[in-house]
Structure 1
Amino acid sequence: MAPQYAPSLRSRLFPLLICLQTSFIVIFLFCVKYDHHISDDKLLYAEFQDVNVMVVLGFGFLATFLSRYSFSGSGFNLLVAAMAVQWALILNGLESWYHRGQIIINLRSLVIAEMCAASALISIGAVLGKTNPVHLLLIALIEVSGFVLNGLILQTYLRVKPLYCTMLLHIFGAFFGLMMSWVLYSEDSEQQHEKEKIHRRTGLFSLLGTLFLWMFWPSFNSVLVDPNDHQRKLTAVYSTYLALSVSAVTAAGVSVLSSPTGKFNLVHVQSSSLAGGVAVGVSMSAVREPWVAMTIGLAAAVISTLGLRYIRPHLLSAFKCHDTCGVLSVHGLPGILGWLAHLLLQLADSDDLTTAIRCAVFNICTLNVTLSLSMALGVIAGMLLKWNFWRPPQEKKFFDDQAFWECTSEKFMEKDMDIWKGMIEGPT
């Protein structure tokens, strides 16, 4: 029986890429200008580089854990990030274009665009390995548009600060991706796919992505804080680092405790070690003391690790939702924990009952709007991706680089290695 090859994307991917990139160039030609009225801020440039490393290397390497999907995990991450950043620059600059007739680009706008792209990369983690590059680009366009719209709604009607709107990217991206995965569910997904496993080499590269994210997360959480408020900026750095440290230690302990064999689980350690950075990023505007940040980091790691151990397997059987990267436990649940911590800390700082009630109402409305919009757009995106026009990959080609890349099969690679080994060792 002849092998079933993955459908060619030549007639879909190339026109989409060229049309999108040409359109962006035309928009930039007529509407976008560099900001020449500010001095070069070396500190902001360093922080921009930190965020850039997280988006490209951190998320890129983190997506390489699947044994036969490492090329796609890292390569498609760069493709999506590059396109999403351009689209986010345009959408975030519409207000400037409306008032001044042009979109201004500076380091701050680039950082915000990269954070919008990070939200899209979180969403893609839920459907990693089950989509093609055309799907990923469509996801990025829809998700970034929805995230920018969510920030506009929150700032316009609820008077939420722009920094807090941006840090909700974890919640928005996680639930957007989960709803996509739910819509794309098929009966063949009930059992774990034979290629959905971790190899020693790919697991090591994925752990490297965790290390990049862990090191640069303090910059990610503090880069948009007002640079003139040095104390608040340093507090964000301190709080993030302490929360990350506690979450790394706690994740290791809970992973061993919850393991039937009493051993570390690679996915738990590398994913839940970042949960503290997620949670404290959402709540950092209300964090004032070191012990608060450390407590948030501990709680986030416990929730994340237990979620990966017990909740993630039941998502598939109970809710028909296959979460490849565990974005619910890594970003969704810690993000909601951060929102809850932010609410409780603000209530504790309230002077009177009226202020406390108003604060609670605004925080609850903020979460409801974010969840509602992300889940609704996730359903719409999932329905769009189910269209056969986009040449979706076959079930047999899930989690497989050979469906998209020119690469040698493992059988021939092993044969070549045996030949080279024989040439080096010589005749026996």
Structure 2
Amino acid sequence: MAPRYAPSLWSRLPPVALLLEVIFIVLFAFFVEIEELKDKKNQEFLYFYAIFQDVHVMVFLGFGFVSAFLVRYGFSGVGFGLLVAAMVVQWATFINAFLPSFYFSHFNWPVHINLNSLAEAELCAASALVAMGAVHGKTNPTQLLLFGLLEVTGFVVTQKLMDTLFKLTTLFYQSGRIYATMQMYVFGALFGVMTSWVLYRSDAEPRHEKEKFDSKTGLFAMLGLLFLWMFWPSMNFMQVKDIRVVYSTYLAQAVSAVTAMAVSVLSSPKGKINLVHVQGASLAGGVAIGAARTVHDPWVAMVIGMCAGLLSALGYRYMKDHMLFAFECHDTCSVLSVYAIPGILGTFGHLILQLTSTDDLTIAIRFAVHFICVVFISISMSLVTGSITGFLLKLKFWKPQQDRKCFDDQAFWEFPHLAVHK
């Protein structure tokens, strides 16, 4: 019996991946230099490098293993995450350095990169991996490379656009900094969901036969969750640069983890804990605090964490099936529940905290209007760019796998012990 899987990726992955690498090498050769490290910055570098390492572990290990929960998609969950993140980091490093010069007409070539440039690129990679969760198992690696590059381009352009439009008009710029954290979570999640909506296969079953997990893959995913859970305060600190966000993130995540388990039991017909629900909802507190940014009181952080865990767990339980039924949108990893809802919750929490901290009604109104514009533009950009990406990935040129080959490693990876000998 002949195998039902594509014989190779020769005509798709190697040409695209190698061509992109050649382009990146040429761009870095002519336009990028590494910034010299002065003696007085050595101590600062070593301090910041420790935080960078935490985020590095999150991106390549945490997000990788947390995506390995599907019973027949473990290799791809970890391997494709590495592939996309490694490619996206290069592109994000360049585009983050290039766009400020492009916007402000400061064409000082070559542009210089440093550890902060790599840290920003890692955060862009995290945004792409968040978005990947929505199309997890339904795309081939070539599609994922294009998906990651377009997501990061849209994310960086939106962030720089916000800086250009609102930096000089808001009195809260230092505290809000254009909500880059909210954009990372919400932009990535909505981008991925819109792409998944466009790529929806009408002939696919409501729930794919391979879209399930077992004890081994669940344990690997739990390992990834623990890495993300432990190092999430470092990711928030890298963006906010305020030590108070570390305390707030830790407390919020602790509350959201407990809340997630309690809600999982309450919403279960058998009164048992669902491991998948806990894996996603336990991170909701850290996502919400990252978007809320300025939380000074520990009890406020804990309330935000409880609300985020509650909404995320309920979303995990009910939203995925309803989205599939009502909108024909399949969200594999429920990124709406894990990142978008907590991110929006934290963003509005930031608005409330900022408005209650001022007695000037005029300033409060100006900030509220500014806030609404930022959120509206960010969400609109994610929906538009996600839709465009979906239509590009839907082209037959990319040779998407058939429905029966979704969520299956055998379409892409070698399994010598399963080879058919003629």
Q: TM-score, normalised by structure 1?
A: 0.92
Question: For 1:266-311, what per-residue CA distance to the aligned partner results, in whole angstroms no more than 9, with x for missing partners?
Answer: 0111110000000000011x31111111111000000000001111
Which residue of structure 2 lines up, in the alignment, with residue 43 of structure 1?
A: 47
Matched, 1:215 2:223: no
SS in 2 for 1:9: coil
For residues 218 and 373 of structure 1, what CA distance do their matches in structure 2 show? 27
Task: Quote the offset at 1:6 in angstroms.
Answer: 2.4
Task: Quote the offset at 1:406 in angstroms.
Answer: 0.3
Task: Quote the offset at 1:31 in angstroms.
Answer: 1.3
Which residue of structure 1 lines up, in the alignment, with residue 19 of structure 2?
A: 19
For residues 357 and 24 of structure 1, what CA distance do their matches in structure 2 show? 45
User: Please, which runs of 5 or more residues in structure 1 have no aligned partner?
Assistant: 227-232, 413-428
For residues 118 and 127 of structure 1, what CA distance do their matches in structure 2 show? 15
User: Which one of 87, 103, 106 corresponds to residue 83 of structure 1?
Assistant: 87
Q: How does 1:131-210 map to 2 (within 5 A)?
A: 131-159=139-167, 162=177, 164-210=179-225
SS in 2 for 1:223: helix
Task: Quote the offset at 1:224 in angstroms.
Answer: 3.1
Matched, 1:390 2:390: no
For residues 66 and 352 of structure 1, what CA distance do their matches in structure 2 show? 52
Which residue of structure 1 lines up, in the alignment, with residue 362 of structure 2?
A: 354
Matched, 1:252 2:255: no
Matched, 1:287 2:292: no
Retained in 1: the 8 A contact 2:163–2:178? Answer: no
Retained in 2: the 8 A contact 1:9–1:391? Answer: no
Task: Quote the offset at 1:164 in angstroms.
Answer: 2.5
AA at the equivalent of 1:54: M
Question: For 1:67-92, what per-residue CA distance to the aligned partner results, in whole angstroms no more than 9, with x for missing partners?
Answer: 00000000010010000000001110
User: Which one of 272, 277, 282 corresponds to residue 286 of structure 2?
Assistant: 277
Matched, 1:93 2:93: no
AA at the equivalent of 2:32: V
SS in 1 for 2:21: helix
Task: Quote the offset at 1:93 in angstroms.
Answer: 0.4
For residues 15 and 107 of structure 1, what CA distance do their matches in structure 2 show? 31
Question: For 1:184-240, what per-residue CA distance to the aligned partner results, in whole angstroms no more than 9, with x for missing partners?
Answer: 1112234211111001101100000000000000000001334xxxxxx22011011
Q: How does 1:323-402 map to 2 (within 5 A)?
A: 323-402=331-410
Q: How does 1:106-145 map to 2 (within 5 A)?
A: 106-145=114-153
Aligned positions, number: 405
Percent identical pairs in the alignment equals 56
Retained in 1: the 8 A contact 2:249–2:289? Answer: yes
Which residue of structure 1 lines up, in the alignment, with residue 9 of structure 2?
A: 9
Distance 1:305 1:202, change over 3 A: same
For residues 225 and 382 of structure 1, what CA distance do their matches in structure 2 show? 32
Q: TM-score, normalised by structure 2?
A: 0.93
Question: For 1:295-338, what per-residue CA distance to the aligned partner results, in whole angstroms no more than 9, with x for missing partners?
Answer: 11000000000001111110100010000000000001001001
Which residue of structure 1 lines up, in the alignment, with residue 170 of structure 2?
A: none
AA at the equivalent of 1:212: F
For residues 205 and 186 of structure 1, what CA distance do their matches in structure 2 show? 29
Distance 1:364 1:257, change over 3 A: same
Which residue of structure 2 lines up, in the alignment, with residue 422 of structure 1?
A: none
SS in 1 for 2:252: helix
Task: Quote the offset at 1:12 in angstroms.
Answer: 1.7
Retained in 2: the 8 A contact 1:85–1:114? Answer: yes
